[in-house]
Structure formats: C-alpha cells, structure tokens
Structure 1
C-alpha cells in the first residue's frame, strides 16, 4: 500500500571517546585523597566534640586531645586511690564476728559476716587444721551472708604454728585469733 508508512527503528550510537590512562589514574587518586581528607575531617570533628575543644586546626585539636587524655588519666588514678582507701577501710570495719566457747573436749566456734566472701570457709577450715582441731559438727550458710557454727574436737598431736611446745593446750582466745588471722589473710 503506497500510503502506509513504515517506521524503522534506528539506533544511534554515541561517538566513542578515548580517555587517556593518565587522566583515569589522576582522577582516582584525587577521589581517594578527597575521601581520606573527608574522613580525617570527620575524625577531627569527633575528637573536637569529645574533648570540648574550640581549636580549628589539626595540630591544636590534637594538643587539646592529649591534654584531655592526661586529665582523664589523673582522674582514673585519683579514683583508684580512693577505691583502695575505701576497700581497706571496709575490710577493717567489716571483719566477721567470731566467738569461741570452750566445751568439755573442744570448742564451739561461731563466725558471722554481713557479706559472703569466696574462700572464707576454706580459710577457716585451714586454721582449724593448723591448730589441730577436728571438725566434729558444722553448719554453714553462705548465700548472702556468711555464718558458720562448728564444733572443733580435741587437739591432735602436731607441731603448732601458734604455740612453741607440742603438748601445750589451746584456749578459746588462741582459736579466735587463728580464725580471725586466717580471714584477714584471705585477701
């Protein structure tokens, strides 16, 4: 049909341009450099905000940050010394209450502490062993507080740390001092 129109699809190609290799390398190095600079600026800005610095240039920001770190170190040292002082005063004030009663053939030992310390029972039992006391009966509670009620039997033959002669008798005060010393030496 002479009046019918035909549409043909034509593709238009863009002209190819050659970019020289030096330009590509130069562009990628510039973009990397810009990225590093931007990253450095972000980090400096973060450092500025953490240290409350009003400095503008890099060297001043770093100097301010160094001063800030030194101040923090001094604060940490001060807090550590305060903590050490507080811990020593607490350990002196919170020594367990120890009572020892003399029985016919041994001792009744009661130990009570407001706080439970890991290893306290072991330290007390070691003190009994050093004194040569056999534990005949014991009740222990060490959930929140520490409470021990023990009956220490007759003294066995041994070489004592607390007494110089082998067959010297042990009294309630010696047992109490040995238990308290064992608890203090736990730390």
Structure 2
C-alpha cells in the first residue's frame, strides 16, 4: 500500500506528536523522580538520575543503621561472643496481656523459624504480631498470648522453656543434616 504525499505528511505529523508526547512523558517522570528524591536540580536528566542514585544509597544506609539498631535493642549485638554460645539467644518479657518473645542469632539458622512457631503452637501461644529476618542473621520478635484454655497458667518461664527446647531440637536435627552432607 503506497501513501500519497498528503498521507505521508499526516503520518509524519502524527509521529512527531507521539515523539513529543513521549518526551513530555519522560520529562514528567524525571520531574516526579526529582521531587520524590528531593533533587535540587531541575531539567538536567543526568543530575536528576545521579541525585536519585545518591538518594537510594542514603536510604540503604539508613536501613542498615536501623537494622543494627534493632539488633542492639533485641540484644543481638555484634559484641555478643557467638563462639562461646553457639545457640540462638532467647528473651521473653511479660506484657500486660501476653508475652514479647525475641530470638536472635548471628547466623541465618535455616529452619529455626518453623521450629519456634511449632513450639508456640504446642504450648498454645497465639501469635498476634511477628517480625522475622532470616537473611544474614536470625531475628524473630513475637507478641503472643496464651489461648483461652491455658492463658491463666502460662508464664514467661514456660514460653522460654518451650522456645529453648525447640532450638535444641532444631540444633540436633540441623547437625544431623550437616553430618549427612559431609
């Protein structure tokens, strides 16, 4: 199909409009990126992108700092001599209603999260809120309450014993797995 001269001009105009819209669309994205990252430069693509990269780097640094703060607040500090105590550390605090359970280790402890959650289920501790990280180290923070049947008899010592037992069982089973792999 061959286009006549008028049709070609019309197609060219439409292409130019589309190109301009695309540039405008890109410019809008750059302006949005600049405003999100609090960039002080306007209009310069390179400056806006470099500012965004710096902003992302700063955010990563803030996340690392906050993660270290969480580690320190849970008692999982790098000053803890892990080599003297190879087991994850457990703390249980009694709240007005329920318990705050923290488990942390300097290792990632693959499979430990499941073991601890199963221990909660075994003793009838209902998890209301949990936060866990198992990437470079193991951190678990749980707020839980006893179910109606055992709420009156459950105490922090019972919860800590159940979690410690789960850690011991996990340690034994994970040491068998590593022996089998050797």
Normalising by the smaller structure, the TM-score range is 0.3 to 0.5
Going by fraction, where is helix more abundant, 1 or 2?
Answer: 2
